[in-house]
């Protein structure tokens, strides 16, 4: 226990001693006060982290604001002026309504939707008619007439059907010199393997489109009498990706350079056997054509063991244009090295930082918080941008300069004004630091009508891979990772161009092997997902998408609607001359 002076003892102490004692106590108090403040700041950071962790774990993933009211601000003569929606859209010349009673909104009934959903499907007509005797007993002789049939329609689901395609190839020999020839026939995809284009496409569609791990596909195949192991399927995917689909992948990579605007993102992935300690992160990078280019979409995955700048530098070495990314510094580093490459920022990432800052504020105080006000201003920017989606680039650029640029200017004036008042640590400081550091890149979309406001399209393009890796956890080998990148690229490009991935995979695996000896790659133009020469049935219409969604009960049940063909070759190679 610390020593304590009594009143009598203090009265006997020398004045100089008491002064010195007081100064020591004052110094200790200042020191303790600083430590308490530091502990309070750390406690606030821990509470913020715990709040965000609980939201990410248990809360909804949507970042949509619950408050539908619209508030934004403008800069007028150096002053920030706030206004609400009523002030923004008021019209003093508008006529008064005749009645103040609100009319209930009634959604117009969709006419012919059921027939549209059923169009294109094969129809089996099943008749239900009464016999002549039953009609006479009911109405009497000649007492009835035939009316139009009452027709009702129902879906009929047909489970998987496994067949063997047994190719008998004619073998012929000359009686004179014993020369042997065979009739023309399709070559096997992989020498000595039973895999066919339809079977390979079913596996690709199952894993890379519907995120079904290979062990589940193995179980599904076994239910239909096919003894195919996951090791077989993994080997097939690697060999088919490297041998055939990589040819189209490289061609799409060249085509991507033709776009003025592209977008990029990356996500971590674990690769089991990559020569590093267990748990080492690898990365799957994704590059895609600009979101505002509605036709001829390209989505490409690129696997690498690290996340350093050498990878985008290599992938984009022949590209000239604008690349939309998040705030990852490696893209900015590559931009500084190149005169013909410009980086544009992502407003969704900027907004997300303030959403995180707002979520750590007590709920009853959020609408008064600085983060809330900034998010409302970003909401106003997005509201105006949303009105420009269907405009051509030149008109979109003009409207951005007239309407959106003043909102962006006002936002950054307000941010710079309020920045000195923001605490030195915490989520709000992180949000301010991010958006102010990214200002140069966040303004790029105001200068080019082809640049999207955010990088959401890249995040959507990589979402299929992220869903898949939650199911299969990791990729086994580096070769598997590279092949997965190729197959995911073809699948996502097909989806982006409204193709049916399974049918597209079948078509590619049937056509590319025919041209393996070609030195001219011009045949690839006919295989591009927007080629007018694609067979009928590969392009997906809107009502086909509805039908597929209705028929696909679960992720891996989609596999069961495809016809699996296994090529088995029985070739009699004994010379016919000897038979004679």
| H or E, element range at 383 | helix 370-386
Q: What does the DSSP assignment read for 274-316?
A: SSS-TT-EEEEEEEEE-TT--SS--EEEEEES--STHHHHHHT
Identify whether the C-beta of residue 335 lies closer than 8 Å to the C-beta of residue 326.
Answer: no
Q: What is the mean pLDDT of residues 416-425?
A: 89
Question: Which residues have CB under 8 Å from 129's CB, separation 6+?
Answer: none
Q: What confidence score (pLDDT) does residue 96 get? A: 47
Residues facing residue 322 across a β-bridge: 261, 342
Weakest mean pLDDT among 355-359, 436-440, 451-455: 355-359
Q: What confidence score (pLDDT) does residue 48 get? A: 63
Residue 549 has pLDDT above 60, yes or no: no
Weakest mean pLDDT among 159-163, 252-256, 375-379: 159-163
Q: What confidence score (pLDDT) does residue 320 get? A: 95
Torsions phi, psi of 270, nearest 5? Answer: -100, 130
Weakest mean pLDDT among 218-227, 231-240, 272-281, 366-375: 272-281
Spatial distance between the Cα atoms of 500 and 538, rounded to a whole number of angstroms: 6
Q: What confidence score (pLDDT) does residue 444 get? A: 96
Identify whether the C-beta of residue 289 lies closer than 8 Å to the C-beta of residue 260.
Answer: no
pLDDT tens digits, 175-227: 888 899 999 888 888 888 888 999 999 999 999 999 899 999 999 888 888 88
pLDDT tens digits, 442-458: 999 999 999 999 999 99
pLDDT tens digits, 359-378: 888 888 888 888 899 999 99
pTM, two decimals, is 0.75
Q: What is the mean pLDDT of residues 464-485?
A: 81
The C-alpha angle 117, 121, 127, rounded to 5 degrees, equals 105
Torsions phi, psi of 574, nearest 5? Answer: -70, 125
pLDDT tens digits, 494-521: 999 999 999 999 999 999 999 988 888 8
Average pLDDT, the chain: 82
- What number of other Cβ atoms are within 10 A of residue 380's Cβ? 21
Q: What confidence score (pLDDT) does residue 567 get? A: 35
């Amino acid at each position: 226990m610390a020593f304590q002076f009594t009143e009598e003892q203090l009265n006997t102490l020398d004045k100089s001693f008491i002064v010195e004692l007081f100064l020591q106590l004052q110094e200790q108090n200042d020191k303790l006060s600083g430590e308490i403040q530091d502990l309070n700041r750390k406690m606030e950071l821990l509470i913020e982290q715990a709040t965000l962790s609980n939201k990410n774990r248990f809360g909804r993933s949507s970042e949509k604001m619950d408050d539908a009211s619209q508030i934004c601000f403008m800069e007028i003569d150096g002053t920030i002026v706030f206004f609400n929606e009523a002030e923004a859209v008021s019209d003093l010349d508008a006529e008064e309504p005749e009645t103040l009673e609100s009319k209930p909104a009634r959604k117009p009934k969709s006419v012919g939707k059921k027939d549209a959903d059923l169009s294109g499907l094969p129809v089996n007509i099943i008749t239900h008619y009464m016999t002549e005797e039953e009609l006479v007993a009911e109405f009497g002789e000649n007492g009835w007439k035939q009316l139009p049939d009452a027709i009702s329609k129902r879906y009929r689901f047909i489970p998987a059907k496994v067949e063997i395609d047994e190719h008998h190839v004619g073998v012929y020999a000359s009686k004179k010199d014993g020369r042997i020839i065979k009739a023309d026939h399709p070559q096997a995809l992989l020498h000595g393997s039973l895999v066919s284009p339809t079977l390979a496409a079913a596996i690709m569609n199952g894993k890379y489109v519907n995120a079904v791990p290979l062990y589940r596909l193995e179980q599904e195949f076994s239910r239909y009498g096919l003894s195919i192991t996951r090791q077989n399927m993994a080997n097939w995917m690697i060999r088919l990706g490297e041998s055939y689909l990589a040819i189209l992948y490289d061609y799409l990579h060249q085509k991507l350079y033709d776009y003025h605007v592209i977008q990029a993102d990356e996500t971590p992935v674990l690769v089991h056997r990559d020569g590093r300690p267990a748990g080492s992160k690898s990365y799957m990078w994704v590059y895609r054509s600009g979101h505002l280019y509605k036709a001829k979409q390209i989505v490409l995955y690129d696997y690498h063991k690290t996340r350093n700048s050498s990878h985008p530098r290599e992938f984009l070495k022949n590209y000239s244009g604008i690349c939309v990314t998040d705030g990852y510094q490696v893209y900015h580093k590559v931009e500084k090295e190149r005169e013909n490459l410009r980086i544009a920022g992502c407003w969704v990432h900027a907004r997300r930082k303030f959403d995180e800052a707002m979520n750590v504020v007590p709920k009853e105080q959020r609408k008064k918080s600085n983060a809330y006000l900034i998010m409302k201003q970003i909401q106003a920017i997005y509201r105006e941008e949303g009105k420009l989606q269907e405009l051509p680039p030149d008109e979109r650029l003009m409207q951005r300069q007239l309407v959106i640029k003043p909102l962006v200017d006002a936002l950054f004036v307000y941010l710079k004004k309020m920045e000195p008042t923001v605490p030195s640590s915490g989520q709000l400081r992180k949000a301010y630091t991010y958006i102010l550091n990214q200002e140069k890149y966040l303004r790029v979309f105001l200068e080019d009508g082809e640049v999207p406001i955010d990088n959401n399209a890249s995040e959507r393009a990589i979402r299929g891979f992220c869903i898949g890796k939650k199911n299969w956890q990791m990729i086994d080998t580096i070769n598997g990772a590279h092949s997965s990148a190729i197959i995911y690229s073809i699948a996502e490009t097909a989806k982006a161009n409204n193709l049916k991935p399974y049918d597209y995979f079948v078509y590619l695996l049937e056509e590319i092997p025919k041209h393996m000896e070609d030195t001219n790659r011009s045949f690839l133009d006919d295989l591009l997902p927007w080629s007018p020469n694609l067979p009928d049935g590969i392009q997906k219409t809107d009502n086909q998408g509805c039908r597929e969604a209705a028929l696909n009960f679960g992720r891996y049940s989609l596999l069961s609607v495809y016809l699996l063909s296994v090529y088995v070759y029985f070739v009699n190679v004994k010379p016919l001359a000897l038979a004679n």
